[in-house]
């Protein structure tokens, strides 16, 4: 069976849109209607007039799409495609944490569950985190969750003191400093660019720190340079597609693996076959109970309003 042909046929028949994150497998990115970062994907989900949203990403992303577009059917190729960062912030303990600091504004990174979003005042992505934090009056104390590495980076950049939840992404904590130094010694003319979910010692080596879309734009603006890229390796597909003559190397992970890079096994759970199956069967579908959805929607809408 020609999966590309069949997916295209079903997409047309069912008036479906395929949204894919930059960390997805290259073949999935190639067939998607839109490939982007969390902010761009949220905006697409909010604006689409498709009947079905096929979300080639992880669970919290599909859940965010459902929160924004409750009348659409939202399907995820593999329901087990979770997120280590979202898992690091369970709703019960987080609720207690926020109740212990009632005077704090709660800003949560989009990489969290609907339950966590519902406990938040405003949501952010790595694209707009600095802007969102800077929009809060200086005298207002802030809780930032779930990513402590992104939180520390924001504190450094804004000079704000924030109370951080102790969460992290395993993919961005897997980079090996020793291997990165070795790699840079072999390629001293390569610039390091990094995602702010990475640990501080990795960020300290970077020429540029930014979201996935920010990193792609930076490479686009400096195509004559060479780069070591410290984020999930799936991003190299889009970079190479748009900048075929730019030399790129993924930052090495601590673990010795086949790609010599850091990959998100959750993101890679989605395959072309699963994409076809979920479009054909319109399942697994994402459901967010209405009371939870309306509470989670408010902080997301605040973010989208500030991101215009």
Residues within the annotated binding site for [4Fe-4S] cluster?
Answer: 83, 169, 264
User: How far is CA 165 from each of CA 88, 169, 244, rounded to the nearest angstrom?
Assistant: 9, 13, 40
User: How far is CA 171 from each of CA 7, 109, 244, rounded to the nearest angstrom?
Assistant: 30, 16, 25
For the chain, strand residue ranges (E) read 16-21, 34-36, 52-56, 73-75, 105-109, 122-124, 142-145, 162-164, 190-194, 208-209, 226-230, 248-250
Please tell me whether residue 249 adopts helix, strand or coil conformation: strand
Annotated binding site for iminosuccinate: 21, 38, 109-111, 126, 195-197, 212
DSSP letters, 22-70, are: TTS-HHHHHH-SEEE-HHHHHHHHHH---SEEEEES-HHHHHHHHHH-T
């Amino acid at each position: 069976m020609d999966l590309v042909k069949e997916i295209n046929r079903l997409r047309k028949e069912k008036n479906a849109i395929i949204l894919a994150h930059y960390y997805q497998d290259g073949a999935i990115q190639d067939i998607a209607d839109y490939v982007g970062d969390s902010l761009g994907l949220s905006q697409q989900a909010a604006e689409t007039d498709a009947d079905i949203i096929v979300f080639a990403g992880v669970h919290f992303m599909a859940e965010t799409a459902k929160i924004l577009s409750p009348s659409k059917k939202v399907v995820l190729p593999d329901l087990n495609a979770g997120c280590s960062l979202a898992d690091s912030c369970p709703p019960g303990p987080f609720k207690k944490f926020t109740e212990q600091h009632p005077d704090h504004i709660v800003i949560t990174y989009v990489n969290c569950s609907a339950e966590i979003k519902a406990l938040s005042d405003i949501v952010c992505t790595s694209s707009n985190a600095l802007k969102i934090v800077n929009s809060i009056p200086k005298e207002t104390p802030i809780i930032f969750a779930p990513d402590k590495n992104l939180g520390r980076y924001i504190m450094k950049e804004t000079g704000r003191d924030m109370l951080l939840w102790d969460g992290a992404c395993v993919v961005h904590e897997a980079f090996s400093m020793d291997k990165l130094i070795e790699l840079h010694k072999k390629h001293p003319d390569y610039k390091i660019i990094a995602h702010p979910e990475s640990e501080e010692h990795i960020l300290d080596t970077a020429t540029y720190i930014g979201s996935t879309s920010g990193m792609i734009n930076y490479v686009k603006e400096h195509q004559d340079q060479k780069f070591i890229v410290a984020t999930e390796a799936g991003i190299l597909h889009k970079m190479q597609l748009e900048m075929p003559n730019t030399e790129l190397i993924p930052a090495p992970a601590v673990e010795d693996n086949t790609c010599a890079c850091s990959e998100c096994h959750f993101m890679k759970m989605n395959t072309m076959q699963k994409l076809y199956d979920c479009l054909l069967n319109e399942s697994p579908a994402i459901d967010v109970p209405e009371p939870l959805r309306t509470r989670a929607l408010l902080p997301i809408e605040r973010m989208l309003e500030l991101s215009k």
